[in-house]
Structure 1
């Protein structure tokens, strides 16, 4: 049991990677559509590239989307609306008219008899309420058939037979004239306007329910292909009915009904393909990015982003596949480039797009557009911390999407007459959504503890609290750090290393000297050296201690680990040679370990550059009457000495790059001291 736990402890990193691999594979398979995959790839307007295709089973031909939409519109246009009829309103209006009439009529005011006027008023009410009174404007034609619903009874009439309240005054005037009571027209108009109330109202719910029932009854099929029938011949152009038949066959393959009997085999196939994708990612990291592969946090971050993009695309496709291009997939290479490097960003983007090919419709078109957009993202986005660069890149990505989609549309349709302009709007939305990369980078930095160029730019601000404190407590060290930062940045630019990272590392590499700044020569004034009164071993302990002190200060101020690495490695395992020799002179012997920095040695190009720049800049202060020859010689001596000590064995740096760094350091130091080449006398 003890051996078992020991084995688990030793291999916990590997076990975690296996667990992450299995979990990611399971999640992606869960998100993938659970249907079979059609084994043929075809495009409208292009020839069929395979052998003659025959139906392996009978299946129905599905109507295309446009046909179904037209049928639905036809159902809505021809549907019979339902209106509610309330006869109690008619009775109430007649009673109310009688009361108002008794109160308002006076024999002295009208020539027409009271009985005649009352009779005409009642006749008008009977006539207009015969079919019903409506006060709504529905826009139906007069010959439109409608249903009047009165309780459980249903009556069928034309819409024009309903009386509209707006016609009431004209109807009263016409009827009064015909009945010979013109003098009472105004009275009837006033009374009937007060008493007549609409008793017909559109029943929108019942009408919509009837329409939906008819739409659901629409047959989505328009025919059957029998088993064994030829669907398409080799070389035949895919268009018209043939295109719709092929779509129907593909839908049949991808349907849940078809896949139920093969569900287990379907899962096996998906498992193999998804596993291959994640296995390729692991192999790439192991072979070309071993430092990332060894860091479980970074590996988790990469897998998390892949699954996040698969999840977002799945949600959009299930909601409405039309909006699939709104998903800002180019955020993925953007973010990975910000935290790692362009090659890794593009590789992960391509693998993610391959996974999405199982989910999206028109997978070839999707794969092509997203791959090209990913390449453009990697090639165009540089110095992400500059806001203008991101906007320019987003514009280029959007343009590539639009141009690519336009080209595919021309290939498939052969014209631009039916171009779907709203799809171009989706690409613009995807481009705008890509701008969300900046806040997303910030959140990822806080959650995963990673560092991007944006954060490095903030850390390089010399007005930051920690660097201000350094300049106040140890001005000599601060000035030395600025010089080292300039040297290291120039060298990094020449060999293609991360110049922003190495500059930040150089600014903070000596912050440990703030503890006892006067113990370091660059901060001593009046030529008072505190080490003259100390033993060599004690002096060495103080000098070496600035590395440990620097790490502690950095952690208290929440500096990223990538910056702390420069503090740990800028002296590697070198020896404080001055005090080592002094100890030998005083006591005849000296223990090397008492005068050696704890390390580790540099393990990247950037940390190696800092070691060289730091040593060269510090040593240059001891040169008396510096000349170009002297500077060239001492740069060679210092860097070659570090190489002989094996300080760069773990750094991914070549001899050629070291030679380039030497040249940069020589040139920059010559510029600092305003030196020129010595000419012979």
Structure 2
């Protein structure tokens, strides 16, 4: 797995230098955030936000009040001096000087320093009526101008505007000049910089900037393009220039491989029987399928579009399902789909080809599920056709999900691939199956079905030479199959093993009661030791016959082990009655070995149970259950199950299953009215 996928994830080594010309088009192997570009965009967004200025509406009234207060101070000074008796003897200069002195004492320093003495002199020299007119005009003009937005840049123009509004005031020119100065002094910016609002707007602008990301598969530099500083930085960012990061994908692939192999190993640890041979078989099947995928992936490099749709991955599911187990086949389908998604990636835009991975998974699962109830070898080709149909549906679904234009040529191309994949999977399975079965001695489901065919030479031999044994074997097969299914064992193996378990009786058919058909029993004239040897021989001779005809080892083992080392009680007690000499019990026991598998143990129980129940004169459910439990109890006490992994709970389930099957066979039959009338007539006639 690792070797096959290594080249598909190995980072491409590029010799790219700053300010050199790129020899090829380079794509981003991964998706990554370009933090430097992100910060640059955020700075640009922040700088693009203008400063926020807030209009202070209260400034207009404050400046109006300020301008009015200046005139009020002038009027107040004039009134104070008018009330003084000394002023009548003063000259005009002395009066002006006194007014200036009083005004400076009243005026705040900021106003005093902002306006010139000449302005104050002009105001002080104006009469009361002119000052009232001037005050009203200045206050009105300042209010009109200050109610609008005034920035720092607008101050000079606004001062000119307020002056223009005062030109036509009906006062002396000297007073007008003073009015201009007072009004212009009152005009200030009323729009103030708001640092909190400005910072909030800048923060929001920065948050609206999406991170700059280099997308996987994005073209970083085209063939023949100059590698600029920015391009070089992006190449370094995605790791194409940093050799230290080239080992990361390899470590990731190793981790993924270990995880997938762990699933398989966990399965084989649970099934310890023949695990080494089965594991070797699994490895070979898996290697064949993944090698086929790798070979097909080479065509992808010569621009064959979506060659992964042609991969016969379903053959892996079919082979593993037939040769090993359905559960393992499902696990393998998932693993092969993951491997296929890596093997058939384009090496540019993505590491995993999700579409091909889904296609391979559904195709392989379809194969496994189709064979879940279909065991005949002839069904493999039908499975291939079913896989082809599923493949076409999956391909169509993928194309619709992509929401692209459905071209008839493209649909035909992909459809042919899907059909070919299913057919190839079936052909590959049919071609490889005999080699695996022969090379590993695999007793597959298909092989068991073939062995259960009544036309098999050995089954025909049993039927023609020992018809009673054949009927007995069929009954044992039915009992064993249902009992093994109840405990999770291989019911089909038990059924087929039961068909052949008494093949040894074909050597001397007349010496077994089911084949005597009411005739004399030859054992009546034989000494018990001879009868014992004939009966015991049917197990060992049957195993020899099966080996000579090259039947699978599992079938041979059932024939050899179904009696274990049980005692031939009838002939043992007969021997004890006929002689006073000491007779060893082991001489009248089967040679064994004891059952090694659950299937062999169940067939042995069913064999004894069927023969015992058949001897009952009036079998009832209670008698049947009592007999079955007695037989199993005897075998337990005789330690016949010590060498197989069957549990007491499973033996209880076997008891229940055998009783149910036997009750169905020996149930009471309803006598129909017509039959009763005929019997009455017969009795009347007699």
TM-score, length-normalised on structure 2?
0.58
- Indicate the residue corresponding to 1:324 in structure 2: 308
Q: Distance in 2 between matches of 1:270 and 1:639?
A: 54
- Measured against aligned partners, the alpha-carbon deviations of 1:537-579 in whole angstroms (never above 9, x if no partner) come to 4433332221111111001111111211211221123222222
RMSD over equivalenced CA pairs, Å:
4.3
The answer to whether the aligner puts 1:506 opposite 2:523 as a matched pair is: no
Q: Closer, same or farther in 2 for the Cα pair 1:418/1:630, shift >3 Å?
A: same
Q: Residues 532 and 571 of structure 2 are in contact (CA less than 8 Å); yes or no, is this contact kept in structure 1?
A: yes
- Indicate the residue corresponding to 2:610 in structure 1: 617
Shift of 1:509: 0.4
The answer to whether the aligner puts 1:470 opposite 2:452 as a matched pair is: no
- Indicate the residue corresponding to 1:221 in structure 2: 25
Q: Closer, same or farther in 2 for the Cα pair 1:37/1:59, shift >3 Å?
A: farther
The answer to whether the aligner puts 1:370 opposite 2:331 as a matched pair is: no
The answer to whether the aligner puts 1:337 opposite 2:328 as a matched pair is: no
Aligned with residue 563 of structure 2, among 568, 571, 584: 571
Aligned with residue 291 of structure 1, among 273, 290, 309: 273
Q: Distance in 2 between matches of 1:535 and 1:388?
A: 52
The correspondence of residues 222-371 of structure 1 with structure 2, limited to 5 A, is 243-245=218-220, 274=257, 277-278=260-261, 280-286=263-269, 288-293=270-275, 296-320=276-300, 322-361=306-345, 362-371=352-361
Q: Residues 501 and 542 of structure 2 are in contact (CA less than 8 Å); yes or no, is this contact kept in structure 1?
A: yes
Q: Residues 36 and 259 of structure 1 are in contact (CA less than 8 Å); yes or no, is this contact kept in structure 2?
A: no
Q: Residues 474 and 498 of structure 2 are in contact (CA less than 8 Å); yes or no, is this contact kept in structure 1?
A: yes
Aligned with residue 587 of structure 2, among 594, 599, 603: 594
TM-score, length-normalised on structure 1?
0.59
Q: Distance in 2 between matches of 1:657 and 1:417?
A: 58
Shift of 1:611: 1.7
The answer to whether the aligner puts 1:453 opposite 2:445 as a matched pair is: yes
Q: Residues 33 and 214 of structure 2 are in contact (CA less than 8 Å); yes or no, is this contact kept in structure 1?
A: no
Q: Distance in 2 between matches of 1:641 and 1:59?
A: 92
The answer to whether the aligner puts 1:675 opposite 2:668 as a matched pair is: yes
- Measured against aligned partners, the alpha-carbon deviations of 1:275-334 in whole angstroms (never above 9, x if no partner) come to 664455334312x110031xx432221110111112111111013363222121112122
Q: Residues 558 and 600 of structure 2 are in contact (CA less than 8 Å); yes or no, is this contact kept in structure 1?
A: yes
Q: Distance in 1 between matches of 2:362 and 2:221?
A: 28
Q: Distance in 1 between matches of 2:519 and 2:365?
A: 59
Q: Distance in 1 between matches of 2:295 and 2:19?
A: 29
Identify which range, 312-321 or 353-362, moves more after superposition. Answer: 353-362
Q: Distance in 2 between matches of 1:636 and 1:246?
A: 82
Aligned with residue 528 of structure 2, among 536, 549, 556: 536
Q: Residues 294 and 343 of structure 2 are in contact (CA less than 8 Å); yes or no, is this contact kept in structure 1?
A: yes
Identify which range, 333-342 or 350-359, moves more after superposition. Answer: 350-359
Q: Distance in 2 between matches of 1:316 and 1:347?
A: 23
Q: Residues 517 and 523 of structure 1 are in contact (CA less than 8 Å); yes or no, is this contact kept in structure 2?
A: yes
Q: Distance in 2 between matches of 1:580 and 1:259?
A: 86
Q: Residues 338 and 452 of structure 1 are in contact (CA less than 8 Å); yes or no, is this contact kept in structure 2?
A: yes
Q: Closer, same or farther in 2 for the Cα pair 1:552/1:673, shift >3 Å?
A: same
Q: Distance in 2 between matches of 1:340 and 1:612?
A: 27
Q: Distance in 1 between matches of 2:474 and 2:452?
A: 10
The answer to whether the aligner puts 1:559 opposite 2:548 as a matched pair is: no
- Measured against aligned partners, the alpha-carbon deviations of 1:202-234 in whole angstroms (never above 9, x if no partner) come to xxxxxxxxxxxxxxxxx8538999x99779988
Q: Residues 504 and 539 of structure 2 are in contact (CA less than 8 Å); yes or no, is this contact kept in structure 1?
A: yes
- Measured against aligned partners, the alpha-carbon deviations of 1:21-79 in whole angstroms (never above 9, x if no partner) come to xxxxxxx555444465469xxxxxxxxxxxxxxx99879999xxxxxxxxxxxxxxxxx
Q: Residues 628 and 675 of structure 1 are in contact (CA less than 8 Å); yes or no, is this contact kept in structure 2?
A: no
- Indicate the residue corresponding to 2:541 in structure 1: 549
Q: Distance in 1 between matches of 2:482 and 2:591?
A: 28
SS in 1 for 2:273: helix
Q: Residues 28 and 220 of structure 2 are in contact (CA less than 8 Å); yes or no, is this contact kept in structure 1?
A: no
SS in 1 for 2:630: helix
Unaligned runs of 5+ in 2: 39-209, 224-230, 346-351, 671-686
The answer to whether the aligner puts 1:426 opposite 2:441 as a matched pair is: no
Q: Distance in 2 between matches of 1:377 and 1:427?
A: 13
Q: Closer, same or farther in 2 for the Cα pair 1:235/1:365, shift >3 Å?
A: farther
Q: Closer, same or farther in 2 for the Cα pair 1:372/1:656, shift >3 Å?
A: farther
Identify which range, 267-276 or 551-560, moves more after superposition. Answer: 267-276
Q: Distance in 1 between matches of 2:542 and 2:214?
A: 70
Q: Residues 317 and 332 of structure 2 are in contact (CA less than 8 Å); yes or no, is this contact kept in structure 1?
A: yes
Q: Residues 670 and 676 of structure 1 are in contact (CA less than 8 Å); yes or no, is this contact kept in structure 2?
A: no
Q: Residues 60 and 224 of structure 1 are in contact (CA less than 8 Å); yes or no, is this contact kept in structure 2?
A: no
- Indicate the residue corresponding to 1:627 in structure 2: 620
SS in 2 for 1:610: helix
- Indicate the residue corresponding to 2:111 in structure 1: none
Q: Distance in 2 between matches of 1:246 and 1:426?
A: 35
Shift of 1:591: 2.3
- Indicate the residue corresponding to 1:381 in structure 2: 371
Q: Residues 512 and 551 of structure 1 are in contact (CA less than 8 Å); yes or no, is this contact kept in structure 2?
A: yes
Q: Distance in 2 between matches of 1:472 and 1:360?
A: 58
Q: Distance in 1 between matches of 2:641 and 2:394?
A: 47
SS in 2 for 1:435: helix
Q: Residues 317 and 367 of structure 2 are in contact (CA less than 8 Å); yes or no, is this contact kept in structure 1?
A: yes
Shift of 1:430: 1.2
When Rg is computed on C-alpha atoms for both structures, the one with the higher figure is 2
- Indicate the residue corresponding to 2:133 in structure 1: none
